[in-house]
Structure 1
Amino acid sequence: MDENIGVISSMIVQARPEKLETITTELKAFPGIEISARDPSGKIIVVLEAENDRQLADTMNDIGNIAGVLGVNLVYHHNEHAN
């Protein structure tokens, strides 16, 4: 694991089904994002590795601003630097 990574999270991105391919392509351009699964109904499961919580929040906001994204919901959050 990259020592600069401090946050591992997963989220469900709800997208317009007709925009699924475009949104998937845009998501893959974000650093630290992996698409784990997607459904033709517009649900995309994303895993994100980030340096800190601020980067996680900013990335979630940026994802929410992609045309055709209806919502972004955090499902799992783990901070590696927490004691």
Structure 2
Amino acid sequence: MEEKKTKEPQYNEPKMMVHLAIYSAVGKYKSIRRAIRKGHVTSWGEEVPKRPFNNRKRTLGRELQITKEKIYGELKYRHQAS
């Protein structure tokens, strides 16, 4: 018979150090680390804004919306680039 291997208990050790400058998002999210990983909160503790534009067809009159989309992309995915 094979012996069952028991795993060591995994404790909830933080894998990343959180040094927040702003605590506004702490009350909104159950796990601030998870929110940072998912990109809802920046690494310094500020909430990332929701999509400030609607997904319409790209036309010539929507230059401001396209600029907003670029800014949103830079804010949302800044931590993934480094």
Please classify the TM superposition score into its range, dividing by the shorter chain length: under 0.3
Q: Normalising by the residue count of structure 1, what TM-score does the alignment of the two structures yield?
A: 0.24
Structure number having the greater helix percentage:
2
Structure number having the greater strand percentage:
1
Higher relative contact order structure (alpha carbons within 8 Å, sequence separation ≥ 6): 1
Higher-Rg member (1/2): 2
